[in-house]
Amino acid sequence: MAADSEIWLPLSPTIPRRRVVRFHAVAATGRLVRAACGGVADLVLPPSCPVCRARLGSAGGLCSDCWQKVLFLERPWCERLGTPLPIDLGPGILSAPAVASPPAFARARSAVSYEGPVPDLVHALKYADRTDLAPMLGAWMARVAHELVADADMLVPIPLHWGRLASRRFNQAALLAHQVGRLTGLPVATRLLLRTRRTPRQVGLGLDERERNMRGAFMVPAARKAMLAGRQPILVDDVLTTGATLEAATRALLAAGAAAVDVLTLARVVAPR
Ligand SMILES: [Zn+2]
């Protein structure tokens, strides 16, 4: 695993050095406090399901009711987009959207459908400091990633803008990428791709608006392009909704010399079948 600071605060040339040091100190203190309180909390409060709060025998999982509501994505799926297909027509089948509007990335795979208890899990990870969920969620992702991993050189988490990183204190995509890296042996490159500007939140925006929103939002610094030349990275994010963010990040990696880019997310929005 890379240095812890890379998970919590990927460096950006836009961050003044003094501010970086201060954020590192705050993040480190927060982790120490949580680590210290976590042990006490386990003694006082028994482990509970992160979705419905039902009591559990051990920490780090879901209760059986919530577990049964998680929809794991399985074949048959579109080889390009990873979206479920209603019937199995054999290997290499593409969905209509993949043919009509092919994405810049080569293949996308997601572990679960963004429904049932999954939105609550993502919310808990991102906004409620439930970083203890990352090992379970990363294991779900590694399970679905094996065909991408076989061809890949590295995992590249979607970066947060440093301003958003400062308020959230960690990058959930980097946390997930490190868990996948731990299970697959792939290195995690957290400083390869940078966010050039803070983009408005995507919630409620249509595909065209999201694409406009994200255009040119990522770049690879010139000094790091050599790390990418001819390589095949896997972009990692928490949720694939319209794909606009991953599309923009893919274009930045391809423009910087990547041979091909695959995409791995914890969840994806799946249209009702
Ligand atoms: Zn539950």
63 CA to centre of ligand 1 in angstroms: 4
Same domain, 35 and 83: no
- Residue 138 CA to residue 216 CA, distance in Å, equals 28
CATH number at residue 142: 3.40.50.2020
Residue 59 is assigned to a structural domain of this protein: no
Same domain, 110 and 156: yes
122 CA to centre of ligand 1 in angstroms: 14
65 CA to centre of ligand 1 in angstroms: 6
pLDDT at 3 over 60: no
Same domain, 91 and 170: yes
Same domain, 41 and 74: no
- Residue 220 CA to residue 257 CA, distance in Å, equals 10
pLDDT at 88 over 60: yes
Q: What is the pLDDT of residues 32-55, one digit of tens each?
A: 444 454 555 555 678 899 999 999
Residue 14 is assigned to a structural domain of this protein: yes
pLDDT at 120 over 80: yes
Same domain, 174 and 245: yes
Cβ contacts of 16-20, under 8 Å, gap ≥ 24: 19/166
Residue 104 is assigned to a structural domain of this protein: yes
Q: What is the pLDDT of residues 147-161, one digit of tens each?
A: 999 999 999 999 998
Most confidently predicted of 101-105, 127-131, 204-208: 101-105
List, in sequence order, every beta strand (DSSP E) within 10-130: 108-113
Same domain, 103 and 168: yes
Same domain, 109 and 179: yes
Cα separation values, 196 from 98, 113, 205, 212, 261, Å? 28, 30, 20, 14, 20
Same domain, 193 and 245: yes
- Residue 104 CA to residue 213 CA, distance in Å, equals 17
Same domain, 170 and 216: yes
Look up residue 70 and give its two tokens: 């998680």
Residue 50 is assigned to a structural domain of this protein: no
- Residue 172 CA to residue 224 CA, distance in Å, equals 23
175 CA to centre of ligand 1 in angstroms: 23
Q: Would you call 72 helix, strand, or coil by DSSP?
A: strand
- Residue 244 CA to residue 215 CA, distance in Å, equals 9
82 CA to centre of ligand 1 in angstroms: 27
68 CA to centre of ligand 1 in angstroms: 9
Number of domains observed in the structure of the chain: 2
Cα separation values, 151 from 154, 157, 173, 232, 250, Å? 10, 17, 21, 7, 16
Same domain, 3 and 72: no
- Residue 74 CA to residue 99 CA, distance in Å, equals 21
67 CA to centre of ligand 1 in angstroms: 7
Residue 202 is assigned to a structural domain of this protein: yes
pLDDT at 211 over 60: yes
Q: What is the pLDDT of residues 167-195, one digit of tens each?
A: 778 899 999 999 999 999 999 999 999 99
pTM: 0.82
Residue 54 is assigned to a structural domain of this protein: no
Query: Which of 273, 253, 254, 242 lies closest to 265, judged by CA?
Result: 242
Same domain, 77 and 134: yes
Same domain, 162 and 252: yes
Look up residue 251 and give its two tokens: 């274009």
46 CA to centre of ligand 1 in angstroms: 14
53 CA to centre of ligand 1 in angstroms: 6
The band of 23, judged by pLDDT with boundaries at 50, 70 and 90, is very low
Range of the domain at 164: 64-268
Residue 57 is assigned to a structural domain of this protein: no
241 CA to centre of ligand 1 in angstroms: 24
255 CA to centre of ligand 1 in angstroms: 44
269 CA to centre of ligand 1 in angstroms: 21
